[in-house]
Each structure stands twice: as structure tokens, then as C-alpha cells.
Amino acid sequence: MPSTPAYRRVLLKMSGEMLAGPGASGIDPATIQRFAREIGDVRAMGVEICVVVGGGNIFRGLAGASRGMDRAHADYMGMLATVINCLALQDALEQHGVYTRVMTAIAMDQIAEPYIRRRAVRHMEKGRVVLFAAGTGNPYFSTDTAAALRAAEIHAEIILKATKVDGVYDRDPEKHPDAKRFESLSYLEVLNRGLRVMDATAVSLCMDNDLPIVVFDLNVPGNVARVVCGEPIGTHLTSGS
């Protein structure tokens, strides 16, 4: 297991679907416990880490809108799904002795703190893992955009984009066995090729703030620590190719 971190402060972006494990939806206890151990291992290395989790394992706003719901209404429901996921991850982390704080973009004082940038930074400086819930608090913005926004606000050094594949491909590797994996890409290449790494708003925000992204496979045990220690895995997105 790597032990020398290359970054001081990172933001981990996880899709809600990752929490479902082998299932199609919901939260798989064994899966979320493994993710909690991985996050805890990174925190034990002295790295300040915060997390943005999607809500697609419970409810996705775009899916609701495609079935006739009002888009804003559906997006707010999706934001609440991310809160559920963050609370589940908080419970798993604290079972492993990792101090956490859930901060939401939508006020719900009984279960989480409101998002305040300076307070979030202070929590991380004190060694707590901060879980950012409810996206940006606004409809029409994805949790990818929320991750880019929060990473820029708290001065994270890199976004760790956790997926089910080992990087970015020119085509869907599940449908095309000959798909090519990229070791590195520029933000403009991602946008011009229409690669589905993060949505265009999130990529543009990272480009404007020169915020690197690494896309990697979270299903490989120990990969979060490997990325944090600078090992050459996944696909790296930067201002230059």
C-alpha cells in the first residue's frame, strides 16, 4: 500500500450508483463499508479529504424529468437523495473511527450543517472528512458541477473522479472491446470530443480554475490511496494534453 501522499487536500467525487454495489439501486452495506475504509486510509495518511456523492442510486432528477416531472422539482428530489447517501457514508466512516461532517447546500439543521466555505475548510484542517450533500443547492446543475465548484472553493489540489472503469475511453469499453483508453487528456479535448467524463459545465469550471481531474476505477481496492500518492493509474485531465 502506498504511503507518501502527493497531495495535501483532495476532493473525491463518487456517483450514487457506486454505493449500490452489485445491485441496481439502493445502498449496499458491504460496498459502502469498503469505500469508508478507503477514505479512512487516505485520511490516516494526513491528507485532507472531502467527498461529493451523487444520488442516482436512489433518484436522478434527469430521469424524473424524462418521465414528465417538472425538471426543477425532480432535481430537488435528486438533491435529497444525495443527503441520504452522505448520511449513510458518514455512518460507515464513523464506524471506522473517522470523524466526519455532512454539509448541505439546502438547510436541514436537524441532520447536517449548512455549507459554509470557511467552516468546511476548518473541518478539514482539524482532520475531519467533509461530505458535501445536496449538490449546489440549485436545480439544473449536476453533482459533477457541485464537485468542481466545491473543489475550487476550498482550494483542493485535484478532483478524484471515481468510476466503474479504469479511466477515460474513446468509446464505451463495455460495448466496444477495442476501445482506446487515454492516459491523459486536456480539458478542451474532453469538450471537443464530447467524452462523458463530467458534464461540460464541470469540465469548463475546472479548466477556468486549472483544477486537475483524475478518473480512476474505485472498484479496485486501494486505488484511492494510489491516486493520492501519485501513482500513474486512470486518466489525468489537465490544461495541457
- Asked if pLDDT for residue 3 goes beyond 80, the answer is no
By C-alpha distance, which of 28, 98, 90 is closest to 53? Answer: 90
pLDDT score of 194: 87
pLDDT score of 2: 54
Mean pLDDT of 131-137: 97
CATH code at position 147: 3.40.1160.10
Tens digit of each residue's pLDDT (9 = 90 or more) over 75-117: 999 999 999 999 999 999 999 999 999 999 999 999 999 999 9
Is 219 contained in some domain?
yes
Mean pLDDT of 213-228: 95
Report the number of distinct structural domains present in the chain. Answer: 1
Tens digit of each residue's pLDDT (9 = 90 or more) over 47-72: 999 999 999 999 988 888 888 999 99
Q: What's the pTM?
A: 0.94
Is 3 contained in some domain?
no
**CA 120 from centroid of its chain's CA atoms:** 16
Q: Rounded to whole angstroms, how far apart are CA atoms 13 and 153?
A: 15
Q: Could you tell me the residue range of the domain that residue 90 belongs to?
A: 9-238
- Whole-angstrom CA distances from 139 to 79, 112, 187 are 9, 20, 24
